[in-house]
Amino acid sequence: MTLLNKAAARCGLVLAVLAAAAPIGATTVPTQSWNGYHWAHTGNLAIMVGNNTSAKWAPYLSTAETVWSTDKYIDFLPMASMTSATSCAGIYGTIQVCSGNYGATGWSGWTTVYTSGTSIYQATIKLNDYYFNQAKYNKAAYFQQVICQELGNALGLDDSDHSYTNANIGSCMDYTNDSSGTLGTNGTLANTAPSMSDVTHLDGIYSVFDSTQLAFTKPKVSSNAQAVAGSVPEPASWSMMFVGFGALGVAMRRGRKADLAVAFAR
């Protein structure tokens, strides 16, 4: 996206912090994997997505859920609000998507995945209306790219290109100065949906099965994930965030080294 100088998240202190967070003895991760993070699965995944956004986000969230659900391993299950937009608290076994005016933070979208080892057990996505309410960013293509990209990150998929000035590759995981491909700055392709390459790389991440899977992420599970909301602490209540260039941070809960919260900003 144009706003945030996200390329800074890939260098300096932040990269060193992420490397330190990688599990000892980790094997080579698939292409476009975000540090090996993934939802543990013994079969297909049906991940509930709580919608804690304002009405203007509804069509973009719905479209992004639908396109990512075309992946052969992934189904997103749209759910009603489970938390408040202000706190955007994580709920075990789900992805919570929130929107609100979070202020001049330097990011338009912020994804946090909560992991045990490299296994994701919940995720949150914040969409910052402080920027989306400004004319420069209040555009359908920008809305669509950001929510598409954040949902991809919440699955453990890394961004595909970190240069704003390269020609668009037709992927919402691709940084650009023009999400729509109509301004003459980045070619003519729209970066508003996953590309075939994104899907192939996502399949590479999820083609290897795990020995366990969260009950809430198994297809046809009817349990109400909201029932466990009170059992999961909010990041601010237990973590210390190290942020580099206002773009990316890693937090570790004191006394429980197996649990990580990793944030990825746009």
Query: In sequence order, what DSSP letters do the residues of 21-85 get, joined into one string?
Result: HSPTTPPPPPTTBSTT-EE--SS-EEEEEEEES-GGGHHHHHHHHHHHTTSTTEEEEEE---S-T
Question: pLDDT, tens digit, for every residue of 248-264?
Answer: 333 222 222 334 555 55
The predicted model gives 132-159 an average pLDDT of: 96
Residue showing tokens 């240069």: 163
Q: Which of 18-27, 63-72, 158-167, 181-190 has the lowest mean pLDDT?
A: 18-27
* Rounded CA separation 195/152 (Å): 11
Output 47 or 233, whichever has higher pLDDT.
47
Work out whether strand 119-128 and strand 109-116 pair parallel, antiparallel, or are unpaired.
Answer: antiparallel
The predicted model gives 115-130 an average pLDDT of: 96
Contact 31, 64 (CB under 8 A): no
Q: Which amino acid is at 221?
A: V
pTM of the model: 0.79
Residue showing tokens 């992004």: 64
Virtual torsion, Cα 235, 240, 242, 243, nearest 10 deg: 40
**Residue 12 CB burial class (10 angstroms; 0-12, 13-18, ≥19):** exposed
Phi, psi of 121 (to 5 degrees): -120, -10
